[in-house]
Amino acid sequence: MYEATEIKRGVFWVGAIDWNIREFHGYTTNRGTTYNAYLVKGEKTALVDTVKAGFFPEMISRIKSIQDPEKIDYLIVNHLEMDHSGALPLIKELVPNAQIVATDYCSKGLVKHFQHDWPVQKVKTGHELSLGGKTLKFLEAYMLHWPDSMFTYLVEDSILLSNDGFGQHYAGFHRFDDEDGHFEAIMDEAAKYFANILMPLAPLIPPILKKVEKMRMPIEIIAPSHGIIWRAHIDKIINSYVEWSTGVARDQVLIIYDTMWGSTEIMAKAISNGLCKASVENKLVRLRQNHYSDIVKEILVSKIIVIGSPTINEGIFPSVAQLLSYLKGLHPLKKKGVAFGSYGWGGEAIEAINSEMKAGGIEVIEPGLGVVYVPMNQDIEACFQLGERIAAHLND
Ligand code: FEO
């Protein structure tokens, strides 16, 4: 009933489309996602990655449109996480003699996850596996984004099966970047994916891209495990990864805040006005109307982050505290930060925000601005001036 898509002669997409998923371990997936598995046919056949367990029938149906699934010889496990290996026990049950191929780290994880003692052919960077007419070359991608992660390169076809790398949570009818017609949305999802999944591991990305270059692996197609396959915009996505992983951002200031009775919001708008007066691109996002997984995508591309919270219970407002806790783990590169907020008496939120920003590697460039109760004209002017000073920091 489901059809495979041939992405190059003898290489097929046999994954599944999850149109309706809207939450992915805390990350909002407003455009759904796909779980991309690939069937590579030489004289022998390899299945690279699988799908989430519940999508097994869809994957099997697509494989059947090409060949008998029981004739698969190898199961390549690029990554252990359940969105890609969840259906492994099911396919292994169907094809018990298929040889699993994975990194050493992954082989240990397979035992833990599935409590099976399947024999695993362990591979390292540079190892090759010939299918007869098709050669698979492996590249360990340690911590991109799990210790077990691996890329599989198809030598004769110049296809990089990059697993989570270069992925996007994007469900669509088309498989390729040049077919879809919504390129901006695809790049938006690629940035959101990078920000939420790969940002804390960014320093590891340039070395692996160099390794691909050094191993003389020309790339005509990048086929990730989520979303659209790249063939027309390979330079664009690789250059974006280089920028995102080295902290290159726009001259944009992002003002993130929440408010109890409106005072912190008045401050946020006055800071924005100061930035506008200085002709600096800025955006306001209130946390209760914007999900933190969308906000971190904006943080990725902004040079300065201004975070506002009222003081509550001698600390930070819960929605702001949640964002800061998430951001601390993501450890964004080369960001500058400023805190502000209203308070009734203590005003502890400012120092607490500063402390959380520093813990996340953000350079705090102002002591922070607090206002007691409701901002009066002079307070609004102070916020406006803060906006102007922040604008000047863009050129530091
Ligand atoms: Fe790390 Fe798409 O799983």
Give yes or no for residue 175 CB within 6 A of ligand 1. no
CA 13 from centre of chain: 21
Rounded distance, CA 108 to CA 396, Å?
48
C-beta atoms surrounding 281 within 10 Å: 13
Q: What backbone torsions phi and psi does residue 121 show, to the nearest 5 degrees?
A: -85, 110
User: Based on the number of CB atoms within 10 Å of its own CB, is 168 exposed (0-12), middle (13-18) or buried (19 or more)?
Assistant: buried
Give me the pLDDT at residue 367, please.
Answer: 97
Q: Could you report the per-residue pLDDT of 264-299, keeping only the tens digit for each?
A: 999 999 999 999 999 999 999 999 999 999 999 999
Which residue's CA is the closest to the ligand 1 atom numbered 2? 164
Which homologous superfamily is 5-246 in?
Ribonuclease Z/Hydroxyacylglutathione hydrolase-like (3.60.15.10)
Domain ranges of the chain: 5-246, 250-391
DSSP letter, residue 340: E
Per-residue pLDDT of the chain (396 residues; tens, 9 = 90+): 999 999 999 999 999 999 999 999 989 999 999 999 999 999 999 999 999 999 999 999 999 999 999 999 999 999 999 999 999 999 999 999 999 999 999 999 999 999 998 999 999 999 999 999 999 999 999 888 999 999 999 999 999 999 999 999 999 999 999 998 899 999 999 999 999 999 999 999 999 988 888 888 999 999 999 999 999 999 999 999 999 999 999 999 999 999 999 999 999 999 999 999 999 999 999 999 999 999 999 999 999 999 999 999 999 999 999 999 999 999 999 999 999 999 999 999 999 999 999 999 999 999 999 999 999 999 999 999 999 999 999 988
Q: What backbone torsions phi and psi does residue 305 show, to the nearest 5 degrees?
A: -115, 130
Contact 168, 223 (CB under 8 A): no
197 Cα nearest atom in ligand 1 = 1
Rounded distance, CA 62 to CA 65, Å?
5
Give me the catalytic one of 79, 84, 169, 233.
79
Rounded distance, CA 86 to CA 101, Å?
16
Helices 234-245 & 183-193 angle (0-180, nearest 10)? 30
DSSP string, 63-107: HHTTS-GGG--EEE-S--SHHHHTTHHHHHHHSTTPEEEE-HHHH
Q: Could you tell me where the DSSP H helices lie in the chain? A: 56-64, 82-85, 88-94, 104-114, 183-193, 205-214, 234-245, 263-277, 292-300, 318-330, 348-359, 377-393
CA 370 from centre of chain: 34
Give me the catalytic one of 81, 140, 189, 265.
81
Query: What is the helix (H) or strand (E) element at residue 281, kind and residue range?
Result: strand 281-286
Q: How many residues does the chain have?
A: 396
CA of residue 80 to ligand 1 center, whole Å: 8
225 Cα nearest atom in ligand 1 = 2
Structure tokens of 371? 């206002």
In angstroms, the Cα distances linking 138 to 75, 128, 144, 153 are 13, 6, 14, 6
Domain 250-391: state its class. alpha beta
